Chain A
Amino acid sequence: MNGPLPTAMERLDAMIAMPGAALASAAVRLADELLAIGEAALESWVRSRGDTPTEAKSEGFRLLALHRQGARGEPSFNACRETCRELVYHRNCVLAADDAADVAKTLRLGAMVTRHLVLFIDGKLENAGLGEFCCSSRPVRQRDAAIAAAHP
């Protein structure tokens, strides 16, 4: 990965490789850490657009508020909307689960969901057109065309 989020990726890979017992014994802390990694990735995206990351919460989660902020004026960023919601869902499942094996599996999947969010944002930071064509139904070259039109 050449982007700005390699540390997060290393941490997530390490978490995914942790034994189930180690995951289960620190479940709530690790679930919160996943949210924090997701928030940090979203903050990178928001800052890259010249904005200050919000401290507000949406539906009780800053992660979701940051996603909304990141998608404002950038509908292709909705490509990670469901990924953000899945991350919140997995965190809630960890808090609600009793069985250690379930907790470990949920945390591991939560880490994989977070990894997808980080990978997507890293891809967007390298190439802002990612998700344009499909998720916002816009031409991939729209930005290039707008720049060319503004600077003939």
Chain B
Amino acid sequence: MKHQRVAYYPGCALEGTGHAYNRSTKAVGKALGLDLVELKNWNCCGAMEVKNVDPKLQTYLSARNLSIAEDMGFDTVMAPCNGCYHNLKKAEYDLANDEASREVTGRLSSKAGHKTYEAGKVETIHALDWIKDSVGEEGLKTRIKGGLKGLKIANYYGCMYTRPRHIFPEKDKGPGSESTYKPHYMDDLLAAAGAEIVEYPLKTACCGGAHTLSDSDTSTRLVLNLLTTAEACGAEVIATECPTCHTGLEMHQMRAEKVFGQKTTVKILYFTQLLGMALGLSARKVGVHENMSESQDLLYERGIV
């Protein structure tokens, strides 16, 4: 089975605000018989802070994680956070195409005393690729216990899962591959788990994420439009696959009510939480109580938990 056993790079967010995503990802993996082996002594991918100060240092930091995966004998690392996934992909691209990035990574790796990562040794995949490629929709259907009972879901992929397109060479390869224009892997998996997927036209639209603290009103307005559009599409839940998107939607849902007086009721859940419950895991097991968005009443009402 492809991707049955992969290296796991949770990243910093999954140890903090995205803890529920971490526990639900692990729980779903276990329920599906998939092995996640966490990278030993992993470091930050370089995320926002380092990338802003020195992009090549960010490439090195991501490359070090890829080097650890290689040392542990893996050719695939799974990163469920869009930011981490994006940064590891970007490092792969930069190391393959930019001599200056190779020079900095080589120099810092020598100084740090570990092997220099070379492009092409380890493939970075997202949690969506991991489940889609290992179990797939048909495999998932055979394991569903209870399912999502027609819960109406809008899937929000955010931006870093598909942009910029050139760092995702495996996407847009025709039928079966993921699309950067209209991603569908989350739609496919949640539909297989018994959800009713609503057509959502803003699935990769900007949420103002990087400006969430410095320019909060812009972010709140963009998120409010994401939420109201999901409700207009008939969605009861927005499914997410990134801790930054998830937290941004939750925070700005509350802020929109407080600052602009506009209340929305659509619930926000990680796709792994939804898959976990469809597989018969309890809401607690997948960390629903850790979300800021209160969705337990809806889940009880629909008989999902």
Q: Do A and B come from the same complex?
A: yes
Report which A residues bind B (CB closer than 8 A): 1, 75, 78-80, 82-83, 85-86, 89-90, 105, 108-109, 112-113, 115-116, 119-120, 122-123, 126-127, 129-141
Q: Within 8 Å CB of A136, what residues of B?
A: 163-164
CB nearest neighbor in B for A79:
B206
Q: Is B201 an interface residue (CB 8 A)?
A: yes
Given contacts A75-B164, A130-B208, A133-B210, 17 further A-B contacts (CB under 8 A): A78-B163, A83-B205, A86-B202, A112-B229, A113-B201, A113-B202, A119-B218, A120-B206, A123-B218, A123-B221, A127-B214, A130-B210, A133-B51, A136-B164, A137-B86, A137-B164, A139-B52
Interface of B: prevailing SS: helix
A123 to B182, CA, bound (A): 24
Interface of A: prevailing SS: helix
CB nearest neighbor in A for B218:
A123
Q: Is B90 an interface residue (CB 8 A)?
A: yes
Q: Within 8 Å CB of B226, what residues of A?
A: 116
Q: Within 8 Å CB of B204, what residues of A?
A: 82
Contact of A79 among B48, B163, B228, B233 (CB under 8 A): B163
**What is the total of A-B residue contacts with beta carbons within 8 Å?**
112
Q: How far is the CB of A143 from chain B (nearest CB, A)?
A: 12
Report which B residues bind A (CB closer than 8 A): 48, 51-53, 55, 86, 90, 158-160, 163-164, 167, 181-182, 201-202, 204-206, 208-211, 214-215, 218, 221-222, 225-226, 228-229, 232-233
